[in-house]
Every structure is written in C-alpha cells, then in structure tokens.
Amino acid sequence: MLGAETPSAGARRPRRRRAALAGALALVPALALAACSSSDDDAASDGPVTLEFWTYSLKGTDPEAQAIVDRYHELNPDVTVKLSEVGGTAETSSKLLAADRADTVPDVVQVEYRALPSLVVSGVVKDITDDVADVRDGVEDNIWDLTTFDGQVYGVPQDIGPMMLTYRADLFAQYGVAVPTTWEEYAAAAEAIHTQDPSVYIASFSPTQFEFFASVAAQAGGEWWSNDGDAWSVGIGDEPSLETADYWQDLVERDLVTVEPLLTPEWNAKVNDGKILSWAAAAWAPSVLYSVAPNTAGLWEAAPLPQWTRGDASVPFLGGSTYLVPEKSEHAEEAAAFAAWLSATDEGSTSLLSLDLLPGGTAGREATLTAEPPMLMPQQTDFWQVVDQVVADTTIPVTWGPNVNVAQSAFGDALNEAALNGGSFRDVFTATQETIAADLEKSGFTVAD
Amino acid sequence: MSTDVVPASQAARTARAPRTRSTRHRARAATPWLFASPAIAFFTAFLIIPIGYALYLSFRGYRVSGGAFGRREETFVGLENYATALSDPEFVAGLGRSLIYGAIAVPSVLGLALLFALLLDHPRVPGRSFARTAIFLPYAVPGVIASLLWGFLYLPSTSPVSYVARELGGSSVDFFGYPALYFALANIALWSGVGFNMIIIYTSLRSVPTEIYEAARIDGASERQIALRIKIPLVTPALVLTGLFSVIGTLQLYSEPATLRPMSNTISSTWVPLMKIYQEAFMNDNLGGAAAASVVLALGILALSLLLLRFFQRRTFGGAA
C-alpha cells in the first residue's frame, strides 16, 4: 500500500516475519533436548496419544472427514487424530520445514507427490518402509512408486490423478468435434471450435501449470529429473520435451488456446459461459469444475488424455497427494500406523471415497467401480470404468527432483513471458534446464551431463 | 526532523542540572534508563536480535552432502548469497518495476491528497466531515482485500468497465497488459492511500494560525492565491514526510501484485523485490538468500530515504533552521 500502510504495517511486515522466525528458532536448543528424551519405544508405550494431522482433504468442519477419524479412534481408543488445515501443498511444505527447524512438528502431513523429494532431502520426512510393510499389498506398485525413492518408502498414497480430458460433451457435439484421442486431433478440434466462434477456445493455456507440462512431456518420453542414486540428471531440454514445447507454441501462436491462468474469476466465468470447453488434467478435475460451475453439471464428460503416438495409452499420474510422517514426530509409530490404515487398508481407503477423491489404495479404488459418477457428469455412467482403465495405463513413473519449487517458478515465469511476447518455448525449456541444473549444483548435488 | 528538537530540550535540562545536589544527581541519571528499559528490552528483543539474526542468516545456506537423496545441512557460505542477490537480473528488474510503479503512484497519490486537503480546508466547503470520512474510508480496507476487489473490477468477464466498453462496440480493456498494469496497480494505491496522506496534510493545514490567512485576505489575496502561496509552502514538511513514506512504500510493494498474480499472466512470481524475497524464503527454502536480499533492500531503502531527506531538508527547512 502506498504511503498509508507504509509506516504501520508495510514497513514492519518483513521484520515481523523475521522476528517470528528468530523466535521459532530460538526455541530449537530447548526443544531439541525434549525431543531427544522421547525415543520411539517410549512413545509406543505411552498411554493415549493425539496425532496432529495436517491435511487439506480432511477438513475439520466436514462431518464425513470427522467420521473417518472418529472411526479410527473407535478402532484404536488410545489414538485421537486432530485435523488441521494449514493450506495447500506449497504452504504445507514451507510450514513443515519451519516446524521441523523449530522442533514442533505435526505427526502426519498431506502434500502432493511432487513436493515429497525436496522434503526428503531437507531431512524432514521419516523413512517408513518398515512401518508400511504389512499394508504393501493394499496399494498397486505403480502407485507406491510415487512415494518410493532409492527403495525407501517416504509416504503412503492418499489419492491419485490418472490423466483425463474433461470436456463439454454438449458443445463438442454442437461444434461437430469428436473427442480427440491424439494431440494432433486435439489441435484440429481446437482449430475447428475457434474458427466457428472466435470467442470460444477448446482450453486455456496456463503457463504456471508446471506439473501438467512435465506430465505431458513424460507422456511423450521426456524425463525431467532422474537419478542413479548418486547423481541427478535433468532432461527438460531433451528432444521429446522440446517437441511438446513446439506443439504448445504452435497452438498458442495460432491462437487456438487462450493464454490465461486457471481457476481465476475470469476462467470460471468463461467455463460457465461455455467459452472454455475442456480441461486436460486428471480424474480430480470434475470435482474442481463442479465447485466453480455447478450449473453446467450433466453437460460434461471425461475421456482418457489425448496421446502423442496413436495407440500408446501410457501416461503418468498428475497431482494427487500422499501422507508423510515427519522425522521428528514424537508419535511416529502411531502416525505411520494411522496413515497406513487410512490409505492402504480396505476400510480406510474405502472411507476416503466419501471425501470425493480417488483413493490410492486398491480397495477404495475398486469401490469406485460401483460408485455413482461425479456430480459434474451424473449421466456418464462409465466414468469410473474409464478412470480404472487410465490407472491401468499409468505406467510412466515420474521422478520429481529436490528443487521442483525452483523449477516451477522459473518455468512458469519464463513460459508466461514467452506466451505473451512471442518468445520461443524451446528456449524456455532449455533455460529452465540450465536453471535447475545450476541450482542442484549450487545445493551440492552432483549433476550428470 | 526531530533532531532539531532534542538538543533544545536537552539544553534546557542541562541548564537546570547544576542546581541539584550531586547525590541526587546520580540517582536521577539512572531514572531515565529505568523508564526506558522496557522499551529498550522490547526494541532489542524484537528488532536488534532479529536483524542480527537476519544478518547471520544471510551468510548461511543449505548444502547437500551425499547422493541424490542426501541431506541438506546449514553451512557458512560467505558472501555467496549477496553475490547471488546483487547479480540476479530478476531482483534488479523487480527494483526497476517498483520504481516505474512509484513514478506513477507517488506523485498522483500526493497530488490528489494535497488537492483534497486544500479543498477541505477551504472556508466555504459543504459536507466537510462527510467528505473527509468518505475519502479516508478506503484506507480502512486491508490491502489484500482492496486488491481482490480491484482484481474483479479489472478482469474482463467481471469488469464493469469492460462490460460498458463491449456494449459500446469496443473490446474488453486489458488492465493486466503493459503498461496498463502499472496504472492498474497505482490505482489501487491511489484508492487506498489518498485518504491517509490527505489526513496528514489536512492536519498540518489546520495547525496554521488563521491570522496568516486574515492578513493575506486583507492584502487582497484570493483563496487560490492563499492556497498556492501560503498553504502549500507551510505544509511542505508534511508533504516531505508523506512523500518519504510513499517512496518507502513503493520499494516495499508486495500485497497488491502478490494478490493479483493468480489472476493474470503478466505478474511473475518475482515481480517486485519483496515477492522475490518471499519466493526465496518460503517457496525455495533459501532463507540465506532471502536474508541477503532483504539486507540489500533495507540498505537501499535507507540510502534512498537519507538522500531524499537531505535533499528536501536543505530546500524546506534549510533557510529556517
């Protein structure tokens, strides 16, 4: 704020933040002693414990969520789970890092898969390989891959995002466009729609959707991060990824997609008005769309994501989240047991269905097959069958690097700039590659060429 | 400004001092410290120590040892964070963007604030207290909320301006394009900042003795001449003060662009220096880099403030003192 806020709030804001940080860090030595004294076996024999659970899926105000933790308390009378919502993945990650340094960590934390590696190298996440050994069978291997690094398990999968194209079936029919099965058809459909009505676009192109670009590049054969145990390789500038860059550049240059961020009031209005006709994302997209455009329910359908090579249905997961147990949790054993129950046992993973998400656990996932389709598309009775097929086709494991956040902002800013000012998307990809590699090296990692 | 006042009052106290006895003198010397001690304690705990800690952090960084999933440890990295901050083109570009914004926002906010203050001070103005409150009211709206509100007014689908433009046969107004974005942001500052600055200037106007105006009127000065020749020169100290606050506010710009960012493509995650610092500290977990950039920014603001003060002090207060 100009002038007005300056002397009061504006000037002190950064200082206050520093003060809070210093205060938090001043507690470290005192609490470190306290933390040392409570070893694992102590915690297990202690009487009743309360697990603090940071989650944005289980909201404390939601009776369905409360019913789940009440049920767990019924099964384990010694364990009470306290739900707290601290924000999305980005906020949760940074708060968890701060909490770890202040030695006041929660016991179970929900983050998106892509945030897990950076938390692991920060030493915040507990290796729970042994704790979840009993429930390994409750989750498919391609889903365990999302939380397993170097053979160690660092989280249990809550929900997964098999990639889908959610589209306005009525308007696709009106414009005479078939559901695209390849990206080539997608471009043709985009052209057909936009030519008939220049105010309508097949989709918006949102440069800040880093994970989407990474996932479709992985679908094309790109590997943005990979490691051999010692050294990291960065492949954003590799040929398969660059070809996807060319593809998007072509769509943007021909004005077949509208360059604008997702889920803004503007985007929501266009979705409601039938000016944006589809969203290439994952099986969670319908519930998001329903929340912003409930009046369009019944007009949508979902199909597998378009393919780069006709007939090659393999895709990676996009989004979804995991429960991790912080390294410094005082009740790590109980926390891991609760997380394993909720995500990987039959009862736990089935109960997650009530939260309108696609559970990672096999039992919960199979239960969807007899469930009602999402509220956005009550008429598409085969929705969950389609999803199930996509999950089976999700055979591309994506490795997220320890500096996803750095990549995400560098990539989003540069791609926005290029999309608006006509720069080369290829250059954005190669520049991000350099930024990521340089950041990894600066942090002390070995980067293979 | 206050430095002129302090020596005078001290001089008065020291003039009285020889009259007191030496034993009581010593006790008395301790008294001010006693009274000041809570303030000093809080000042140390909440300003000196955090600033010191930030300085310490600015020489530290997280470095990894071990393989691909090795652990990050905090270590001393020397001046590396400062070198990165100063050589970062985005940080410098962010400073440039805040200055462009400031060049638009500061003069318009102060100009309007001065205009409103002078109008309110006009002897025959109707509905004065209502107008004063109405102009001041937007200041009570928190910056984030004001930005959200204006964001809705800017977005083509929800903007009444764009609606009218379309109805008249034009196209939507792109408030988030360049250079419109600078004006869009400055407009938010204008909306919420004018009232506050107006109150400061208006208060300063009210403290001018009315005899001066009477004398001017007897000499045949019109209201406009009184405003230009008498009122404005007399409130220059208030203008310098509000100007200084505004310039500092410019460099500390954060909540407006950060709030509008999700709605637009044109605001990058490091659009202004504070957004860059936030990004480093809380998204990239690079507290050291963020601390170093904060120190650089704080020193820059300090230098700019001193420069401005010195410049204006000589012009405004120089002759009088």
How close A424 gets to chain B, by Cα (Å)? 17
Residue B300 has which token pair? Answer: 């820059």
> What is the Cα A233 distance to its own chain's centre?
22
CA distance B281 to A173: 49
CB-CB contact of B187 with B101 (8 Å): no
**Distance between the two ends of chain A, CA-based, in angstroms?**
47
Q: Domain of B212?
A: 79-317
Partner-chain contact A1 B249, CB within 8 Å? yes
Partner-chain contact A25 B70, CB within 8 Å? no
A327 and A250 share one domain: no
Concatenating the DSSP letter of every residue in A261-278 gives -TTSHHHHHHHHTTSB-E
CA distance B206 to B201: 9
How close A123 gets to chain B, by Cα (Å)? 6
A155 and A171 share one domain: no
CA distance B60 to A194: 53
In-domain check, residue B16: no
Of A6, A117, A264, the CB nearest to B249: A6
As to burial, measured by CB atoms within 10 angstroms (0-12 exposed, 13-18 middle, 19+ buried), residue A171 is buried
In-domain check, residue A26: no
Q: Which residue, chain included where needed, has tokens 């404005």?
A: B232
Partner-chain contact A406 B157, CB within 8 Å? no
pLDDT-derived band of residue B318, with 50, 70 and 90 as boundaries? Answer: low
Please state the domain count of chain A.
Answer: 2
In-domain check, residue B74: no
Partner-chain contact B285 A121, CB within 8 Å? no
CA distance B311 to B190: 25
In-domain check, residue B4: no
A228 and A350 share one domain: no
A332 and A313 share one domain: no
Q: What is the ipTM of this complex?
A: 0.78
> Per-residue pLDDT averaged across B308-320, rounded?
72
Of A22, A230, A406, the CB nearest to B67: A230
CA distance A354 to A371: 10
Q: Which residues, numbered 260 to 279 in chain A, qualify as contacts with chain B under a Cβ-Cβ cut-off of 8 Å?
A: 260-261, 263-266, 269-270, 273
Share of chain B residues as helix, strand and coil, in percent rounded to the nearest 5: 75, 5, 20
A127 touches chain B (CB under 8 A): no
Residue B76 φ then ψ, to 5° = -75, 130
A36 touches chain B (CB under 8 A): no
Per-residue pLDDT tens digits for B37-48? 999 999 999 999
User: Cis bond leading into A402, ω under 30°?
Assistant: no
In-domain check, residue A249: yes
Element (H, E) at A259: strand A258-259
How many CB atoms neighbour CB B68 within 10 A? 25
How close A409 gets to chain B, by Cα (Å)? 6
Cβ–Cβ pairs < 8 A, chains A and B: 180
Q: Domain of A169?
A: 161-317+395-447
Partner-chain contact B265 A260, CB within 8 Å? yes
CB-CB contact of B272 with A2 (8 Å): no
Give the model's pLDDT for residue B22. 65
How close B228 gets to chain A, by Cα (Å)? 23
In-domain check, residue B260: yes
Give the model's pLDDT for residue B127. 86
A312 and A243 share one domain: yes
CB-CB contact of A107 with A325 (8 Å): yes
A358 and A404 share one domain: no
Q: B293-301: list long-range contacts, CB under 8 Å, 24+ apart.
A: B293/B81, B293/B85, B293/B88, B293/B91, B294/A14, B294/A18, B294/B54, B294/B58, B295/B54, B295/B55, B295/B58, B295/B82, B296/B82, B296/B85, B296/B86, B296/B91, B297/B251, B297/B273, B300/B95, B300/B251, B301/B248, B301/B251, B301/B252
Of A7, A270, A405, the CB nearest to B157: A270
A7 touches chain B (CB under 8 A): yes
Residue A72 has which token pair? Answer: 């767990």
A434 touches chain B (CB under 8 A): no
A309 and A333 share one domain: no
**Distance between the two ends of chain B, CA-based, in angstroms?**
11
As to burial, measured by CB atoms within 10 angstroms (0-12 exposed, 13-18 middle, 19+ buried), residue A217 is buried
CA distance A51 to B271: 40
Per-residue pLDDT tens digits for A282-305? 999 999 999 999 999 999 999 999
Mean pLDDT of chain B: 87
Q: Which residues of chain A neighbour B195 with C-beta distances below 8 Å?
A: 4
In-domain check, residue B52: no
User: β-pairing, A317-324 with A108-112?
Assistant: antiparallel
CB-CB contact of A335 with A207 (8 Å): no
Partner-chain contact B51 A420, CB within 8 Å? no
A237 touches chain B (CB under 8 A): no
A198 touches chain B (CB under 8 A): no
Per-residue pLDDT tens digits for B32-78? 899 999 999 999 999 999 999 999 999 999 888 877 788 888 889 99
Of B186, B193, B279, the CB nearest to A409: B279
Give the model's pLDDT for residue A105. 95
User: β-pairing, B71-76 with B60-65?
Assistant: antiparallel
A153 and A240 share one domain: no
A417 touches chain B (CB under 8 A): yes
Partner-chain contact A2 B246, CB within 8 Å? yes
A57: nearest Cα among A146, A158, A160: A158
pTM for the model stands at 0.84
Give the model's pLDDT for residue B317. 62
CA distance B43 to B7: 23
Cite the beta strand spans of B35-125 per DSSP E: 60-65, 71-76
Q: What CATH number is given to the structural domain containing B256? A: 1.10.3720.10
How close B103 gets to chain A, by Cα (Å)? 12
Partner-chain contact A18 B106, CB within 8 Å? no
CB-CB contact of B47 with A11 (8 Å): no
Give the model's pLDDT for residue A32. 39
In-domain check, residue B64: no
In-domain check, residue B308: yes
Q: Is the pLDDT of residue B9 over 70?
A: no
A55 and A69 share one domain: yes
Residue of A nearest to B110 (CA): A3
Q: How many residues does chain B have?
A: 321
Q: Which residue, chain included where needed, has tokens 């040392």?
A: A36
Q: Which residues of chain B neighbour A97 with C-beta distances below 8 Å?
A: 285
Residue A437 has which token pair? Answer: 């590699």
Close Cβ partners of A121 (under 8 Å, ≥ 6 residues apart): A402, B64, B69, B70, B71, B72
User: β-pairing, A446-447 with A231-234?
Assistant: parallel
How close A155 gets to chain B, by Cα (Å)? 15
Per-residue pLDDT tens digits for B142-162? 989 999 999 999 988 888 988
Of B71, B264, B269, the CB nearest to A409: B269
Residue A434 has which token pair? Answer: 């350099």
Concatenating the DSSP letter of every residue in A349-374 gives HHHGGGGTS-BSBHHHHHHHTTSPPP
Give the model's pLDDT for residue B157. 82
In-domain check, residue A390: no
CA distance A394 to A384: 15
Partner-chain contact B264 A11, CB within 8 Å? no
As to burial, measured by CB atoms within 10 angstroms (0-12 exposed, 13-18 middle, 19+ buried), residue A37 is exposed
Q: pLDDT tens track of chain A, all 449 residues? A: 333 333 333 333 343 444 444 444 444 444 333 444 344 444 445 579 999 999 999 998 999 999 999 999 999 999 999 999 988 888 899 899 999 989 999 999 999 999 999 999 999 999 999 999 999 999 999 899 999 998 999 999 999 999 999 999 999 999 999 999 999 999 999 999 999 999 999 999 999 999 999 999 999 999 999 988 789 999 999 999 999 999 999 999 999 999 999 999 889 999 999 999 999 999 999 999 999 999 999 999 999 999 999 999 999 999 999 999 999 999 999 999 999 999 999 999 999 999 889 999 999 999 999 999 999 999 999 999 999 999 999 999 999 999 999 999 999 999 999 998 889 999 999 999 999 999 999 999 999 87
Percent of chain A beyond pLDDT 90?
A: 81
A329 and A230 share one domain: no
Buried-exposed string A360-393: b where 16+ CB fall within 10 A, e elsewhere: bbbbbbebbeeeebbebbeebeebbebbbebbeb
Residue B113 has which token pair? Answer: 């604030």
CA distance B124 to A218: 73
Q: Give me the helices (H) in A76-223, please.
A: 89-101, 116-121, 141-144, 169-174, 183-196, 210-219
In-domain check, residue A389: no
A18: nearest Cα among B301, B283, B255, B46: B46
In-domain check, residue A27: no
Per-residue pLDDT tens digits for B15-30? 454 555 566 777 788 8
Give the three-state DSSP class for A231: strand
Please state the domain count of chain B.
Answer: 1
A280 and A326 share one domain: no
A8 touches chain B (CB under 8 A): no
> What is the Cα B27 distance to its own chain's centre?
42
CA distance A301 to A318: 19
In-domain check, residue B10: no
A154 and A179 share one domain: no
Q: What CATH number is given to the structural domain containing A227? A: 3.40.190.10
Q: Which of A2, A18, A268 is the best substitution to test chain B (most B C-beta atoms within 10 A)?
A: A2
> Per-residue pLDDT averaged across B131-138, rounded?
91
How close A236 gets to chain B, by Cα (Å)? 18
CA distance A400 to A215: 11
Give the model's pLDDT for residue B21. 59
